[in-house]
Amino acid sequence: MENSKKAEILAKALPYMQQHKGKTIVVKYGGNAMINQSLKEAVINDLVLMKCIGINLVVVHGGGPEINDLLKRINKESKFINGLRYTDKETMDIVQMVLAGKINKDLTAMIYKKGGKAIGLCGVDGNMLQAKKLEADDDLGFVGEISKVDTDIINSSINAGYIPVISSIALGEDKETVYNINADTAASSIASSLNAEKLILLTDVPGILTDPSDPSTLISQLDLNGISQLTSNGVLTGGMIPKVKCCSDAIKAGVKGAHIIDGRVKHSLLLELFTDEGIGTMIK
């Protein structure tokens, strides 16, 4: 590309930088969007860039596929009910090891490698995510429902210049039981409690599709009415069910926009933040 073209593209970033500076944006980085190393590096690059331009960035990560891999290694089957993992005690230990251990520390290190500053936390740290057992039609074991978010540790980390990188496990009211929280739910509750400008969910599809097998059926914008329609007519299945519910919960709580975008597209975060049209599905 010619230098003048490059300069033009860079100059066009100014209004977007001004728009986002000082705003709180929560990015949920899903396990399905972490599979390829070069893509992972591109995501980390974009996160560090977001922080550099003055966004109060919070990263909440998942790691479902990695949990499945480790369970498989101990010959344990992964069981999901409506997109949520049935979590017995042994599974809970694995979830904690993978999310709060391996993935959380890998992502934190990768941010340092890109020249950023991060602090890896889980919901237990700073008593940030407080939960009780999720009461559902089917018993899901140690799957929790967030009852309170204490944002102190998140705000302190942001004010000290760090990107908080948060894994989705939470502490029970007995201060003993640890619960497995769907990472979309954790991100949504955190975004709501922080009064965030945006919640961005990075996943492995282009956004919400009316036909999940056909990427050309992307819905680019939806409001809360549209969501109830999709939910009742069975278009959403599996992990998309909690994901969309999280977006609508965040919007109801005052988050201005929730975005489901394709983490497999290189620099999808920049396309979302630095173009008028954005990518993926925007819920308002």
Q: Phi, psi (5° rounding) for residue 10?
A: -65, -40
Q: Does 263 bind ligand X2W (CB under 6 A)?
A: no
* Binding-site member from 180, 193, 203, 248 for ligand ADP (CB under 6 A): 203
Token output for 216: 């050309």
List Cα–Cα distances, 240 to 3, 230, 244, in angstroms: 42, 11, 6
Options 30, 31, 123, 144, the catalytic residue: 31
Options 30, 64, 116, 239, the catalytic residue: 64
Q: N- to C-terminal Cα distance for the chain?
A: 36
Options 30, 62, 239, 243, the catalytic residue: 243
The answer to whether 83 is a known catalytic residue is no
Options 28, 51, 198, 245, the catalytic residue: 28
Q: Angle 237-84-61 (CA atoms, 0-180°, nearest 5)?
A: 100
Half-sphere exposure of 246 (CA within 13 A, CB side): 29
List Cα–Cα distances, 47 to 30, 53, 98, 164, in angstroms: 14, 10, 22, 11
The answer to whether the annotation marks 75 as part of a ligand binding site is: no
Which residues lie across from 179 on neighbouring strands?
A: 170
The answer to whether the annotation marks 172 as part of a ligand binding site is: no
* Binding-site member from 20, 51, 243, 259 for ligand ADP (CB under 6 A): 243
Q: Does 236 bind ligand ADP (CB under 6 A)?
A: yes
The answer to whether the annotation marks 85 as part of a ligand binding site is: yes
List Cα–Cα distances, 123 to 66, 68, 100, 135, 201, in angstroms: 19, 21, 9, 20, 18
The answer to whether 256 is a known catalytic residue is no
CA-based nearest residue to 182, from 128, 150, 144, 133? 144
The answer to whether the annotation marks 73 as part of a ligand binding site is: no
Instruction: Give per-residue burial for 244-258: e unless 16+ CB within 10 Å, then b.
Output: bbbbbbbbeeebebb
Q: Sketch the per residue contact string, 117 through 146, with ligand X2W: x for CB under 6 A, - otherwise.
A: --------------------------x---
Span 175-194, contacts to ligand ADP by CB under 6 A: 184
List, in order, residues 6 or more apart from 96 with CB less than 8 Å away.
122, 169, 178
The answer to whether 175 is a known catalytic residue is no
Span 27-56, contacts to ligand X2W by CB under 6 A: 30-32
The site partner of 63 among ligand X2W, ligand ADP, none (C-beta below 5 to 8 Å per kind) is ligand X2W
Q: Does 226 bind ligand ADP (CB under 6 A)?
A: no
The site partner of 237 among ligand ADP, ligand X2W, none (C-beta below 5 to 8 Å per kind) is ligand ADP
The site partner of 44 among ligand X2W, ligand ADP, none (C-beta below 5 to 8 Å per kind) is none
* Binding-site member from 111, 128, 158, 209 for ligand ADP (CB under 6 A): 209
* Binding-site member from 84, 107, 240, 260 for ligand X2W (CB under 6 A): 84
Instruction: Please report, as ranges, the residues that interact with ligand X2W according to CB under 6 A.
Output: 30-32, 62-64, 67, 84-85, 95, 143, 168, 180, 182-183, 239
Instruction: Please report, as ranges, the residues that interact with ligand ADP according to CB under 6 A.
Output: 30-33, 62, 64, 83, 184, 203-205, 208-209, 212, 235-240, 243
Catalytic residues: 28, 31, 64, 184, 243
